[in-house]
Structure 1
Amino acid sequence: MNGASVHTSAPRIAIIGAGPGGLLCARVLQRHGITATVYDRDAGPDARDQGGTLDLHADDGQIALREAGLLDEFHRLSRPEGQEMRQLDPAGTVLFHHLPEPDERFKPEIDRGLLRRLLLDSLRPGTVRWGHTLRCVDGPTGGPRQLRLAHGTTVECDLVIGADGAWSTVRRALSPARPRYTGVSFLEAWFHDVTTRHPEIADLVGQGSAAAADGERGLFAQRNGGDHVRVYVIQRAPADWIAAEGLTPQDTDGIRALLLDRYRDWSPRMRRLFADNDGPYVDRPIHALPVPHAWEHDPSATLLGDAAHLMPPLGVGVNLALLDACELALALARHDTVEQAVRAYEATMLPRSTETARALDGAAEHLLSAELPDFAQAEHA
């Protein structure tokens, strides 16, 4: 059967990736009586660290959660105090400090793991198939599509949705685009039990986040739930800067010594943000898709979130992914055919993501700027 004529009440829908976007898409579809199966390469929901905390915005991410019937539960789990923001200089002097009002709910924080659990618990049992790595997408444009999985099985579907992140396998069926290195690299450091074990870090970061930069290098520290703090060491550097120094990511002492030298002009208080960390560092070079990124319409395949529009990590990624997922699910519920639904979804998503990506193109460099961010300047005006 040709995918263009499949009625949306009974299409075989496969979602690749059990991140926030993929799970929310499945949730909204289920609320409208449409079945979808989510395939993820992880062995289970707790197979790996889910990363740090996310701020979900009232004008996109929270809209999607409301449509999913999960907004009240999100607010119960979120940390509105995480909206606190401090801008520091390399000496540790506070240049700007935003304290949220008690009822401020524009962009409360939630840990990635908690958000994933909220979404997973909202789905019917068996919706997510763990341990299923997608190798490639075969089949003609218009469908049906064959999903070739790593363990040798093939799944046929009328629509495959790529919610599989920066290095999306589904994207290859639609676009030759590949993420490019931005020239800016993050190195993640963790701090546990900060109130008792790292009180200086807890005091410096507060309940939200603290950032500092000198034009060439920066630090961004963020409070997570469970009395944890994650710090991102931000540098303009080659993607392989660790190997270029003769080190490996596991050489914690060697990397720490290198950072202490690179940040030697920063105060000892600020250098604690990467020198007193618990455990190894995590190397995170920042990539982005070319701008604009679009593809020829295909009624049997589409993308959402980072698979569609990978951008620098400046607070928009997960919010756009959730909004994409919500709008795609609603389009499938409201249109007569999959082809109509995908076309309607992409007609909105692609211009929106292109506009945002253009605004953020090269913006990873802003993370190194010693100038106050726009929101701080506006508040001082």
Structure 2
Amino acid sequence: MRIAIAGGGLGGLTLARILHRHGIGAVVYEREAGRSARAQGGSLDLHPESGQRALAEAGLAGRFRSAARPEGEEHRILDPAGRVLVHHRPEPGSFSGRPEIDRGALRDLLLESLPGDGVAWRHRLVAATPRPGGGFGLTFDGGHRAECDVLVGADGARSVVRSLLIDAPLSAVATLVELGIDDAARRHPELAELVGPGNLWCVGENRILAAQRLGDGAVRVGISLPADDRPLDTYRDRRALLDLFAGWHPSLTALIEAGGPPTVRRIEAMPTGTRWTHQPGITLVGDAAHLMPPVGEGANQAMLDAAELAAELAGNRGDADAAIRAYEQAMFTRIQPIAEMSARVQAMMLSPTAAEDIVRFFTPRPTEPAPTA
């Protein structure tokens, strides 16, 4: 059974690792030139029931604990005047919650767990053609070719593999502007103190100014705005960004002033409840299967997809089709309420009453622990 995984993100690499542990060979085809070709973004919190569970099944729980930062769970929510609305402090050194880990560190951890030939770099999939006897012929940018019996699309928001199963429309749900502050503790100690070891959200009407501390001491700043029709270049002008936060406390807008060149992208999502008709020898994981607003579930669910698909393939070695069918049915059921919740949270975060709604969301009921970002 030759398994091809299109995409070397967290979902694709987790799938390859767990299959490898079961003695099932798989090749990850990744379009990037190498593991250091680009920055991997900020940090994420791994949930015990999804991301951490997947790492446990990958045999990497111990390495995760060595690289994770439980102190990164600290989370503060401020209003535009700089007043603290919510302050969540994790138990020092505890891994019982959702410890943070830099995306780059997590990806490296997964890459280092694979055999040397487990990832084929510079292989951007451009076409997959069904073969008469089953499986697919793969064509990559530059003319490289390969064949497989099972094709898994882990190739993200604009998945090539998804187009073989379903034509799912993507809709813009937000605009995200990102800036970076390197070596924040030395260069901008006041901002490092403001952000703290974890995450900071400054919430106003229809906009959020957020920041998070990374493991290397850098601070990643993010500005979330409702989706609109304005050209993205509008948001690459620092003065225009500052004008969006006119009247906010200077200690908060200092995050924008200190950041590097802004990068901008549209945040898109697939319709909740998206499903496809099962086809033999092909399936999807992660954003390729269920692109959701980025409110903390995407990477976790991608890794859980990988773990569940790997378990089905390992348990049905003689019948990959039955394994894929079982995985898809369970995944569709699991993802539906999570996608609905993610859409509600995204809408809440960029609403005119976001501050009140978010405070209510993060305020635990008497019998519940406080949620974490």
TM-score, normalised by the number of residues in structure 1 = 0.91
Q: Is residue 2:105 matched to residue 1:136?
A: no
**TM-aligned CA deviation for residue 282 of structure 1:** 1.1
The superposition leaves residues 295-349 of structure 1 with CA deviations (integer Å, 9 ceiling, x where unpaired) of: 1101211000000001011000110000000110111000131101101111111
Query: 1:378 is matched with which residue: 348, 361, 364?
Result: 364
Judged with a 3 Å threshold, the aligned counterparts in structure 2 of structure 1 residues 374 and 65 are, in CA distance, closer, same or farther, namely: farther
Aligned to 1:25, what secondary structure does the other structure show? helix
Aligned to 1:294: 275
Describe how 1:48-63 pairs up with structure 2 within 5 A: 48-63=38-53
Can you give the 5+ residue segments of structure 1 that lack an aligned partner in the other structure? Answer: 1-10, 250-254
What are the superposed Cα offsets for residues 261-311 of structure 1, whole Å, 9 maximum, x if unpaired?
12111011111121211x211102110011211111012110000000010
Structure 1 residues 191 and 239, CA gap change in structure 2 (3 angstroms): farther
Q: Which amino acid aligns with 1:123?
A: L
SS in 2 for 1:168: coil
Would you say 1:284 and 2:275 are equivalent positions? no
Inter-partner Cα distance in structure 1 for 2:278 and 2:227 = 37
Tell me the equivalent position of 1:262: 244
Give yes or no for the alignment of 1:305 onto 2:286: yes
What fraction of aligned residue pairs are identical, expressed as a percent? 45
- Structure 1 residues 168-189: Cα deviation after superposition (integer angstroms, max 9, x where no partner): 111011111132111x211001
> Which has the higher mean CA deviation after the structures are superposed, 33-42 or 137-146?
137-146
Match of 2:371 in 1: none
Deviations, residues 14-61 of structure 1 (Å, cap 9, x unaligned): 001111110110010011110000000000011011111011011111
Contact 1:39 1:130 (8 Å CA) reproduced? yes
Other-structure match for 1:4: none
Q: Give the alignment partner of residue 147 of structure 1, picking from 135, 138, 144.
A: 138
Aligned to 1:180: 171
Q: CA deviation at 1:380?
A: 8.4
User: What is the distance in 2 between the residues matched to 1:43 and 1:176?
Assistant: 29
**What residue number does 1:162 align with?**
153
TM-score when scaled to structure 2?
0.93
Are the equivalent residues in 2 in contact too, given 1:141–1:298 (CA < 8 A)?
no
2:135–2:147 Cα contact (<8 Å) kept: yes
Match of 1:119, SS? helix
What is the CA distance between 1:220 and its match in structure 2?
1.3
1:60-101 superposed Cα distances (whole Å, 9 cap, x missing partner): 110100000000110111000000000101011111111111
Separation of aligned partners in 2, 1:240 and 1:362: 24
- Compared CA separation, residues 147 and 267, structure 1 to 2 (3 A): same
RMSD across aligned C-alpha pairs, in angstroms?
Answer: 1.7
Task: Pick closer, same or farther for the CA change 1:65–1:374 going to 2, 3 Å.
Answer: farther
| Contact persistence 1:185–1:239 (CA under 8 A) | no
Aligned to 1:221: 211
Aligned match for 2:310, one of 329, 340, 347: 329
Q: Does 1:274 align with 2:237?
A: no
| Matches of 1:164 and 1:239, distance apart in 2 | 27
Give the superposition deviation at 1:239. 5.1
2:110 to 86, 104, 119: 119
Name the SS of the counterpart of 1:125 in structure 2.
Answer: coil
From the superposition, tell whether residues 81 and 268 of structure 1 become closer, same or farther in structure 2 (CA, over 3 Å).
same
What SS does the corresponding residue of 2:159 show, helix, strand or coil?
coil
Distance 1:344 1:143 in 2: 19
Change in 2 beyond 3 A, CA 1:186/1:92: same
**Alpha-carbon separation, structure 1, partners of 2:208 and 2:343:** 19
Q: Secondary structure at the match of 2:355?
A: coil
8 Å contact 1:164–1:307 — kept in the other structure? yes
Deviation at 1:215, TM superposition (A): 1.9
SS in 2 for 1:74: helix
Q: CA deviation at 1:375?
A: 4.8
Over 3 Å counting, the alpha-carbon distance change for 1:141 and 1:312 in structure 2 is farther
